[in-house]
Structure 1
Amino acid sequence: MALPTDQAERLAAGRRRRRVEAVPGPLRPAVAAFDVFRMRAQDQARRAGTRPRSNHTLETALATLPDLATFLINERDKDDWSIVDVHDIEAFLAVLPRARKRRLTVLRQFFRFARAQKLVLVDPTRGLVAKETKGFRGQTLTLDQQRELFRRWTTGKHVHPHEGLAGMLALLHGASSSEVRLLQITEVDHLAQSTRLGKRPHPVPLDPASWTVLQRCLAHRDAWRTENPHVMVTKGTKAGRSPASTAYLSHILDDCGYPPRMIRSTRLVDLVNTMDSKLVAVAFGMDPQATLSYLADHADPGWETRLPQDHSP
């Protein structure tokens, strides 16, 4: 009942064959030849006593090529490796930005092989960098989504005061969860209707809607009869003086359906693209380089609908 000694190799060969067969017909022969080439290189490494690539490494790398071939045919309308250019490769790598480095390594190996076999005249991966350009890659809210949240936090009768405060300060004032969590009652100026947030150099004037939400949160705090100096007090912190936990703030906006970072990013993207980014950095107590990443050329595609439109004739 013992298994054959080459059982692992046979299973690996079957997995590679299935990956090759997943490549659309017109592009399959080159991928099959590339697989044979890499297996031959593995065998030569074994004979030479060097460190050959493992079967897992070969299979994982081979999995990228069916994805690329399918993308080229379905999205770029190209069914020949010879007409693939650098723009096609960039578009493919943009589908999974976090896998850019790993995928680009495999594509470089494949196109070097393809060029050596004269399947392509120019290597489309030449000149591409594995490190992605830094910048804002998150999502932002549409105007309709912002209006929906504003109505929820200003008129919703069943919304928890903590959710309303965290949401409104993030949506209108770009406050981070840390700034809201550490906000203390001594930092609230009732006469000027303003408050201090984090490391911002000046008090933040609150609009009537935000001020009303803050008063609702303070009333909720007074009901606890606590000596905790923070505005946001929970059942676990009412007997002490520590702020609410980071985990509590990370889930405070779960009921609204949008994460705190997405809401705050919407406000920062808006400000950076309508004002001087250096002024935004000073007002928010941020590093000037941090605000540059929120420029619109790094925002999600939906942001272009929220930029000021030029109505000049």
Structure 2
Amino acid sequence: MATEQAGRLAAGRRQRRIDAVRETPRSTVDAFADFMMRSRARARRAGTRPRSDGTIEAALAIMRDLARFLAGERGKQDWALTDVHDVEAFLAGSPKARKRRLVVLGQFFRFARSRKIVLVGSSQGLTSRGVSGFTGATLTLDQQRVSIRRWTTGPAVHPHEALLGMLALLHGASSREVKMLQTADLAPHARTARLGDRPVPATQWPAVSV
């Protein structure tokens, strides 16, 4: 009885994740869930390692989140319209979960391609390492101008904020470079700062005392 109860609860969790997908792409997610359940049954008969309920539920949650992202951020309601740029943008939204998400998306798009739902797997060519360079939120040009004006003319601005803000905004100083910065790296008269292992100092930082 305990096993039957656990199975009913797991089925309910799976269905809630499927129901959270919009109507148009929902049928494909539902079919993908059935595919994973059948694959688990075959694995049990063969004595290999079957997917757990948690693994299947996590996969459906990823597909739910992707469907919501495509509809809300990219204006796409059909899996056939999904391309690699959409998938990359979705993965960039949660860098720490990129590897797990990419595994699930690879499984889903292979399934969808085998059913002729999509012609090309939209996760092909993507790697778990992600794109190089900064991928976080950035300030608009107007926001940058306001910040620089505040840091250079605002009488109430703390000098540490002004210094670190200018280093980050003008020279792209990383958090590690800022943490390792020491007073010996600063040359107030020349208005330069040595950042990490950079070959030349960062120049023209604001004239503030530290």
Superposition TM-score tier, normalisation by shorter sequence: 0.7 to 0.9
Aligned amino acid, residue 182 of structure 1: Q
**Is contact 1:19-1:63 (8 Å) kept?**
yes
> Which residue number corresponds to residue 129 of structure 2?
131
> Which residue number corresponds to residue 100 of structure 1?
98
For 2:146 and 2:25, the matched residues in 1 are separated by: 48
Tell me the CA shift for residue 57 of structure 1: 0.7
For 1:147 and 1:11, the matched residues in 2 are separated by: 54
Tell me the CA shift for residue 182 of structure 1: 1.5
Tell me the CA shift for residue 171 of structure 1: 5.3
**2:178 is the alignment partner of 1:177:** yes
> Which residue number corresponds to residue 293 of structure 1?
none
Identity, % of aligned positions: 55
**Aligned CA distance change for structure 1 residues 154 and 38 (closer, same or farther; 3 Å):** closer
Aligned amino acid, residue 31 of structure 1: V
Is there any run of 5+ residues in structure 1 with no aligned partner, and where? 218-313
**Is contact 1:183-1:196 (8 Å) kept?**
no
The structure having more radius of gyration, on CA atoms, is 1
Mean CA deviation greater in 17-26 or 130-139: 130-139
> Which residue number corresponds to residue 16 of structure 1?
14
Tell me the CA shift for residue 132 of structure 1: 1.6
Matches within 5 A, 1:39-188: 39-167=37-165, 176-178=177-179, 181-184=181-184, 188=187
Tell me the CA shift for residue 92 of structure 1: 3.5
**Aligned CA distance change for structure 1 residues 194 and 61 (closer, same or farther; 3 Å):** same
**Aligned CA distance change for structure 1 residues 8 and 136 (closer, same or farther; 3 Å):** same
Across the aligned residues of Structure 1 and Structure 2, the Cα RMSD in angstroms comes to 3.5
Tell me the CA shift for residue 123 of structure 1: 2.9
**Aligned CA distance change for structure 1 residues 100 and 9 (closer, same or farther; 3 Å):** same
For 1:153 and 1:74, the matched residues in 2 are separated by: 37
* Correspondence for 1:33 among 31, 34, 39: 31
For 1:50 and 1:130, the matched residues in 2 are separated by: 26
Tell me the CA shift for residue 113 of structure 1: 1.8
Is there any run of 5+ residues in structure 2 with no aligned partner, and where? none
* Number of residue pairs matched by the alignment: 205
**2:190 is the alignment partner of 1:194:** yes
The one of the two structures with greater contact order (alpha-carbon pairs below 8 A, sep at least 6) is 1
**Aligned CA distance change for structure 1 residues 183 and 91 (closer, same or farther; 3 Å):** closer
Give secondary structure in 2 for the equivalent of 1:194: coil
Give secondary structure in 2 for the equivalent of 1:6: helix
**Aligned CA distance change for structure 1 residues 159 and 53 (closer, same or farther; 3 Å):** same
TM-score for the superposition, normalised by structure 1: 0.53
For 2:160 and 2:81, the matched residues in 1 are separated by: 56
**Aligned CA distance change for structure 1 residues 158 and 41 (closer, same or farther; 3 Å):** same
**Is contact 2:18-2:29 (8 Å) kept?**
yes
Tell me the CA shift for residue 81 of structure 1: 3.4
Matches within 5 A, 1:177-256: 177-178=178-179, 181-184=181-184, 188=187, 193-194=189-190, 197-198=193-194, 210-211=206-207, 213-214=208-209, 217=210
